[in-house]
Chains A and B, each alone.
Chain A
Amino acid sequence: AQSVTQLDSHVSVSEGTPVLLRCNYSSSYSPSLFWYVQHPNKGLQLLLKYTSAATLVKGINGFEAEFKKSETSFHLTKPSAHMSDAAEYFCVVSDLTGSARQLTFGSGTQLTVLP
């Protein structure tokens, strides 16, 4: 069975400082991993995905994540936070087995960006 743990429910940073959102996963097989973002009262938007190619994945809006198999981690980073980055972020895992139900979601990390 696969699972995802987002290590921080809330993260607060100042505008212009780096962002780190932490995610650990558990999967029986080689997983696919995703980060989604949800702005208030909106649906989820895909930020980036890892699918067994390069371990450092670049996404939209300057975000990137590094897949570390030895640490079973997929942390999301951004060098410089912007006010518009304030949102909830979900780490998601999908493995190769199972039926059409592909994704397991973390419980989310709320990112606050202070002026």
Chain B
Amino acid sequence: DVKVTQSSRYLVKRTGEKVFLECVQDMDHENMFWYRQDPGLGLRLIYFSYDVKMKEKGDIPEGYSVSREKKERFSLILESASTNQTSMYLCASSYPRRQGYEQYFGPGTRLTVT
């Protein structure tokens, strides 16, 4: 089975801190994604990566950056955390763009910024 793991289930940070969220997948997937999930808004794509060191902005990249130095690992970075970044963050991975290849999700990190 595909496994996507995220470094923390719950995280509490202070405003202005630099925050790192880590995601690791074990299926050799080329694509990896970071989403944030907020009530009533569904999932919104922050960034994705289709190869090592390659990244593209999603729908809401402001205030975030990403790093992909190894194929299995994709990190989301909040350069200076703000209270409006309090949210559930979900990582996902998939095979290259092909019809029908679904994304596999990690358990999520619930981040609270105070």
Contacts and interface: CB of A to CB of B under 8 A. Distances in A.
A96 B98 CA distance: 7
Interface residues of B, number: 32
Contacts, number: 66
Contacts of A90: 42-43
Report the interface size class on chain A.
20 to 34
A106 B33 CA distance: 17
A51 B99 contact: yes
A interface: dominant SS: loop
Interface string B81-114: 0000000001010101101111111111010000
5 contacts: A41-B107, A42-B108, A98-B97, A102-B101, A103-B103
- 7 tightest A-B CB contacts, nearest first: A51-B100, A100-B50, A43-B105, A107-B42, A44-B105, A105-B42, A105-B43
Interface of A: 9, 32, 34, 36, 41-46, 49, 51-52, 90, 94, 96, 98-103, 105-108
